[in-house]
Amino acid sequence: MTQETGGFAALDLNPNIVAAVLATGYEEPSAIQQQSIPIILAGHDMIGQAQTGTGKTAAFALPILNKIDVSKREPQALILAPTRELALQVATAFETYAKQMPGVNVVAVYGGAPMGPQLRAIRNGAQIVVATPGRLCDHLRRDEKVLSTVQYLVLDEADEMLKLGFMDDLEVIFDAIPASRQTVLFSATLPSSIRSIAERHLREPKHVKIQSKTQTVTAIDQAHLMVHADQKIPAVLRLLEVEEFDALIAFVRTKQATLDLAAALEAKGYKAAALNGDIAQNQRERVIDSLKDGRLDIVVATDVAARGLDVPRITHVFNVDMPYDPESYVHRIGRTGRAGRDGRALLLVTPRERRMLQVIERVTGQKVAEARLPNAQAVLDARIKKLTNSLAPLVAEAEATHGELFDRLTADLGCSARALASALLRKATNGQALDLAAVEREQPLVPSFAPRGERTERGERSDRGDRGDRERRAPLPLAEGRVRCRTALGARDGIAAKNLLGAILNEGGLARDAIGRIQVRDSFSLIELPEDGLEKLLSKLKDTRVAGKQLKLRRYRED
């Protein structure tokens, strides 16, 4: 095992958990992880004083996964979080770290979603329950024994829970789970109310306190853009039209994403390559050398694959996928702005990632300004500027070297000098659109976010006040060669058309234009798919999950 992986391996964690952690890009345990994991593994109660952004989720998630008995289909660990957003974030982290542990099931329990599916997931054997206190108490009122098998309890951001008025709910939950449990409490501060809880509900707890270090990256121009997950590649392509970069590294989370984005960039004429964990060392070295000497301009990489990458000509870092923690963000963008050079870092943020953006700003002590995707006029101006810059060095001597040929061509073709110059420009620009109307037509539709009730670029309202009308509306006519498929997921499950589109594009391997209209109703959704190869596609999608729920797509019979 390499030195980089030794830190986690030395913590006596299951090798499958260590492998999953390394795949996320962690190189070594953070301070809170280094101190907390052995204490929790040893079975002690613990109070951890640490800020969000120090890696505390992994500090309790990894040892708890290590303790879970996968053969038992019952709740074994309960993690309480103050908000829906944090509950979803923690549940996603557990799922990520458990990727190589078949049989581990995680359920997120929070308000604003139907109670029935949540309760069924608990009863059906989810070993890890991540919940907000208020909604969990709603479930306890329905079934007071639902948590009777819990052995491990974590209170995450306990001070925030008390600020939100959850003290009474916490007492109800404490009474509903076995007294013999192991309890871990994390809190940024330890006011008297938290100490009171610890004295009453924790047994001889060990104390761990981590000072959060403010990290600064002042030399780098940072900005974020709000996009939907299924529109990241079009957003990157549009940004590259206007960003003046020398070399660029784009960070994504998965190996497949490196291949997808690199292929899209190459198709647009960029000198790009993927860098992921499957790339052999000699090939990795060739990619880095090519980036250094200018044979490549863009590398699309995962955190793990980019370890040790130091190329002075990198002027831009694109965080196409949100990093897992602020430290990773700082580490990523530190690849630019070196040796006194200017650096620019852009971060794409999806709706569910707003909270992590706030954490990054808090930990770095800097505001990451919001930027907008360039409009068609900005793209056109950038294209003309690039063309002008490429022609400028040639103009001085072109007439002397090619003037006679130009005169002969105009004579042979019987055309004006303007007509010939226009034809040569068209050939030189490879048919690229260089007028505003054409640029507007070709620009990919990348919706931006709108406040509740305002219209997005797609012309849809961002609120759901028209649900009843949507439910009553008849299905729209089908285009030739397409069939309509149905899923039981709808608006009340928190599903939007973009979620369904992204899942089908990612898992089904379809081109965007192969998917027709997506109609989201209150309790179900209808999706138009190609009839040719439908059964094979549905088979591919049979295990696909959207927003944590199974898609279960099937052909829709309207008669």
In 451-496, alpha helices (H): 467-472
Task: Give the model confidence (pLDDT) of 376-413 as tens digits.
Answer: 888 788 788 877 777 777 777 777 788 888 888 888 88
Same domain, 162 and 14: yes
Residue type at 205? P
> Percentage helix, strand, coil, to 5, in the chain?
45, 15, 40
Q: Is residue 454 part of a domain?
A: no
| Confidence tier at 556 by pLDDT (50, 70, 90) | confident
Q: Is residue 323 part of a domain?
A: yes
Same domain, 89 and 156: yes
Q: What residue numbers bound the domain in which 509 lies?
A: 467-555
Map residue 178 onto helix, strand or coil: coil
Same domain, 28 and 121: yes
Q: Is residue 65 part of a domain?
A: yes
Angle between helices 376-413 and 417-428 (to 10 degrees): 130
Which of residues 338, 354, 373 is at a domain's end?
373
Task: Give the model confidence (pLDDT) of 267-308 as tens digits.
Answer: 888 999 999 878 887 888 899 889 999 999 999 998 877 876
Alpha-carbon distance of 183 to 177, in angstroms, equals 11
- Reported as type and span, the H/E element at residue 206 is strand 206-209
Same domain, 28 and 148: yes
What's 229-283 look like in SS3?
HHHHHHHHHHHHHHCCCCEEEEECCCHHHHHHHHHHHHHCCCCEEEECCCCCHHH
Query: Cβ atoms within 10 A of the Cβ of 42, count?
Result: 12
Q: Is residue 283 part of a domain?
A: yes
Residue 472 belongs to a domain with what CATH number? Answer: 3.30.70.330
Higher pLDDT, 450 or 490: 490
Per-residue pLDDT at 558: 59
Alpha-carbon distance of 269 to 27, in angstroms, equals 34
Per-residue pLDDT at 456: 34
- Judged by phi (left if over 0) then psi (alpha if -120 to 50, else beta), residue 473 lies in beta
Residue 305 belongs to a domain with what CATH number? Answer: 3.40.50.300
Alpha-carbon distance of 540 to 287, in angstroms, equals 33
Rounded mean pLDDT, 41-55? 85
Angle between helices 232-242 and 255-267 (to 10 degrees): 50
Same domain, 405 and 344: no
φ, ψ for residue 78 (rounded to 5)? -120, 125
Encoded tokens for 33: 């992880």
Residues 6+ apart with CB under 8 A from 175: none
Out of 2-11, 259-268, 334-343, pick the least confident: 2-11
* 421-428, Cβ contacts within 8 angstroms, sequence gap of 24 or more: 425/387
Answer whether 521's CB lies under 8 Å from 455's CB.
no
Rounded mean pLDDT, 414-423? 86
Out of 76-80, 184-188, 358-362, 472-476, pick the least confident: 472-476
Residue type at 160? E
Query: Cβ atoms within 10 A of the Cβ of 543, count?
Result: 10
Q: Is residue 461 part of a domain?
A: no
Same domain, 136 and 250: no
Same domain, 163 and 274: no
Query: Cβ atoms within 10 A of the Cβ of 526, count?
Result: 20
Map residue 98 onto helix, strand or coil: coil
Q: Is residue 395 part of a domain?
A: yes
Answer whether 128's CB lies under 8 Å from 79's CB.
yes
Q: Is residue 59 part of a domain?
A: yes
Same domain, 268 and 363: yes
Positive or negative CA dihedral for 465, 467, 469, 475?
positive
Q: How many domains does the chain have?
A: 4
Out of 418-422, 445-449, 549-553, pick the least confident: 445-449
Same domain, 366 and 383: no
| Confidence tier at 229 by pLDDT (50, 70, 90) | confident
Out of 204-218, 249-263, 295-309, 351-365, pick the least confident: 204-218
Same domain, 437 and 532: no
**Which residues pair with residue 79 across a beta bridge?**
130, 154
Same domain, 133 and 119: yes
- pTM > 0.75: yes or no: no
Residue type at 428? A
Q: Is residue 459 part of a domain?
A: no
Per-residue pLDDT at 378: 80
Alpha-carbon distance of 414 to 418, in angstroms, equals 12
Per-residue pLDDT at 374: 85
Residues 6+ apart with CB under 8 A from 30: 54, 55, 58, 59, 327
Same domain, 355 and 385: no
Which of residues 151, 186, 209 is at a domain's end?
209
Query: Highest mean pLDDT: which of 169-183, 433-447, 526-540?
Result: 169-183
Per-residue pLDDT at 463: 35
Pairing of strands 343-349, 314-319: parallel
Map tokens 């490429």 to a residue: 390
Residues 6+ apart with CB under 8 A from 72: 125, 127, 149
Which of residues 373, 403, 424 is at a domain's end?
373
Per-residue pLDDT at 391: 77
Give the CA radius of gyration of the chain.
27
